[in-house]
Chains A and B, each alone.
Chain A
Amino acid sequence: MRIERETLADLARGAAFLGSGGGGDPYYSLLLAEAAIERRGPVELITLASLGDDALVVPCGWIGAPTVSVEKLPNGSEAVAGLRRLETILGRRIDAVLPIEIGGGNGLAPIIAAADMGVPVVDCDGMGRAFPESQMAIFNIRGLSACPSVVTASCGALTVIETDDNLAHERIARSLSVALGGIAHMVEYPLTGAEARAHAIAGSVSAAIATGAAIREARAARQDPFEALADALRATGLYPHCKTLFDGKIVDLERETRGGFSVGNVIIDGFGGQGRMEIEFQNENLIARQDGRIRAMVPDLITIMDRETADTITTERLKYGQRVKVIAAAAPAMLREESALRFVGPRAFRLGTDFIALENLDTAETK
Chain B
Amino acid sequence: MRIGVDVGGTNTDAVLIDGLRIIATNKQPTTPDVSSGVSAAIRAVLEEGNVAPGAITAVMIGTTHFTNALVEANRLDRVAIMRLASPSGEALPPFTGWPAPLAKQICGQIFLLPGGYEFDGREISAFDEERVREAARRCGESGIDSIAVSSAFAPINSAMEERAAQAIRAEHPGASISLSHTIGRLGLIERENGVILNAALAGLARHVVASLERALSDLKLAAPLFISQNDGTLISAQDAARYPVMTIGSGPTNSMRGAAFLTGINDAIVMDVGGTTCDIGVLSKGFPRESSISVDIGGVRTNFRMPDILALGLGGGTRIHLDPELYMADLLAETDLRIGPDSVGYRILQDAFLFGGRTLTASDIAVAAGRTRFGDPARIPPLSATVQTAIWRRIQAMFADGIDRMKTAKGEVPIIAVGGGHFLIDDDLPGATQVLRPAHASVANAVGAAIAQIGAQLEQIVDYDSVPRHAALERMREAVSARVAANGGLRESIQIVDMEEVFLSYLPGRSAQVRMKAVGDLAEPSSPAAGTVIAGARHAH
A and B are interacting partners = yes
Chain A interface (Cβ < 8 Å from any Cβ of B): 28, 31-32, 34-36, 63-68, 70-76, 112, 132, 154-156, 174-175, 177-178, 181-182, 249, 251, 255-262, 269, 283, 315-317, 319-321, 323
Please name all residues of chain A whose beta carbon is closer than 8 Å to the beta carbon of B508 when the two chains form the complex.
174-175, 178, 259-260
With both chains docked as a complex, state the minimum distance between the C-beta of A326 and any C-beta of chain B, in angstroms: 18
**Distance of A175 from chain B, by nearest CB (Å):** 7
Which 7 pairs show the lowest CB-CB distances between chains A and B? A76-B91, A262-B505, A73-B89, A257-B503, A321-B408, A154-B88, A260-B508
**A287: shortest Cβ distance to chain B, in Å?**
18
Chain B residue at minimal CB-CB distance from A257: B503
Q: Name the B residues within 8 Å of A262 (CB-CB).
A: 503-506
Contacts of A156 in B (CB 8 A): 87
Residues of B within 8 A of A36 (CB): 91
Q: Which of A63, A174, A251, A317 contacts B292 (CB 8 A)?
A: A317
Which of the residues B86, B189, B506 comes within 8 Å of A65, measured between beta carbons? B506
- Which A residues are CB-close (under 8 A) to B405? 323
Contacts of A132 in B (CB 8 A): 506
Q: A174-B508, A321-B408 are in contact. Are A74 and B89 (CB under 8 A)?
A: yes
Q: In whole angstroms, what is the CA distance A208 to B483 when docked?
A: 47
Q: Are B92 and A28 in contact (CB under 8 A)?
A: yes
Which of B406, B408, B506, B509 neighbours the largest number of chain A CB atoms within 10 Å of its CB?
B506
Residue contact A72 to B118, C-beta cutoff 8 Å: yes
Looking at B132-140, B205-213, B270-278, B510-518, the stretch in contact with chain A turns out to be B510-518
Note all chain B residues with C-beta closer than 8 A to A182: 118-120, 504, 507
Q: How far is the CB of B466 from chain A (nearest CB, A)?
A: 14
Cβ–Cβ < 8 Å partners of A72 in chain B: 88-89, 118-119, 124, 152-153
Cα–Cα, bound, A63→B506 (Å)? 8
Most chain B Cβ neighbours within 10 Å, of A73, A154, A177: A73
Is B188 in contact with chain A by the CB < 8 A criterion? Answer: yes
- Asked if B477 is an interface residue, CB under 8 A from chain A, the answer is no
Cα distance A63–B61 when bound, in Å? 48
Please tell me if B85 contacts chain A, counting CB pairs below 8 Å.
yes
Selected from B85, B96, B503, the residue in CB contact (under 8 A) with A255 is B503
User: Is B410 positioned at the interface, with any CB of A under 8 Å from its CB?
Assistant: yes
A155 and B124 form a contact (CB under 8 A): yes
**How far is B503's CA from A255's CA once the two chains are assembled, in angstroms?**
8
State the Cβ distance, B316 to closest chain A Cβ, in Å: 25
Counting CB contacts under 8 A, is B528 at the interface? no
Binding site for A on B (CB under 8 A): 85-93, 96-97, 118-120, 122, 124-125, 152-153, 186-189, 292-293, 405-410, 502-513
Pick the contact of A181: B118, B407, B503 (CB < 8 A). Answer: B118
- Whether the Cβ atoms of A155 and B503 lie closer than 8 Å is no
Residue of B at shortest CB range from A318?
B292
Whether A75 touches B503, Cβ cut-off 8 Å, given contacts A70-B186, A260-B508, A260-B509, is no
Nearest Cβ on chain B to A178's Cβ, whole angstroms: 6
Query: Which residues of chain B are near A317, meaning CB under 8 Å?
Result: 292-293
A32 touches B507 (CB 8 A): no
Using CB atoms, name the residue of chain A closest to B503: A257
Chain B residues, Cβ within 8 Å of A34: 96-97
**A154: which of B89, B292, B511 is its contact (CB, 8 Å)?**
B89
Task: Check B125 against A261 for contact (C-beta < 8 Å).
Answer: no
Contact A260 B506 (CB under 8 A): yes
| Docked pose: A323 CA to B405 CA in angstroms | 7
A154 and B88 alpha carbons, distance in the complex (Å): 5
Closest CB-CB distance, B97 to chain A, in whole Å? Answer: 5
Other-chain residue from A31, A112, A181, A261 in contact with B119 (beta carbon distance below 8 A): A181
**A101 to B376 Cα, complex, angstroms:** 66
User: Do B152 and A71 touch across chains, with their CB atoms under 8 A apart?
Assistant: yes
B125: chain A residues at CB < 8 Å are 155
Cα-based distance from A302 to B188 in the complex (angstroms): 30
CA distance A155 to B118 in the complex (A): 11
12 contacts between A and B (CB under 8 A): A35-B91, A67-B504, A67-B513, A68-B507, A73-B152, A75-B89, A112-B91, A154-B89, A174-B508, A257-B504, A257-B511, A257-B512
Residues of A within 8 A of B122 (CB): 181
- Contact assessment for B88 and A73 in the assembled complex, using a CB-CB cutoff below 8 Å: yes
**Nearest Cβ distance between residue A221 and chain B, in whole angstroms?**
18
Shortest CB-to-CB span from B284 to chain A, Å, is 11
Q: A257-B503, A316-B502 are in contact. Are A74 and B408 (CB under 8 A)?
A: no
Apart from A260-B508, A320-B409, what are 11 other A-B pairs with CB-CB below 8 Å?
Answer: A31-B97, A67-B505, A72-B88, A73-B91, A154-B87, A156-B87, A178-B508, A181-B118, A257-B512, A260-B506, A323-B405
Q: Within the complex, what minimum Cβ distance (angstroms) separates A305 from chain B?
A: 14
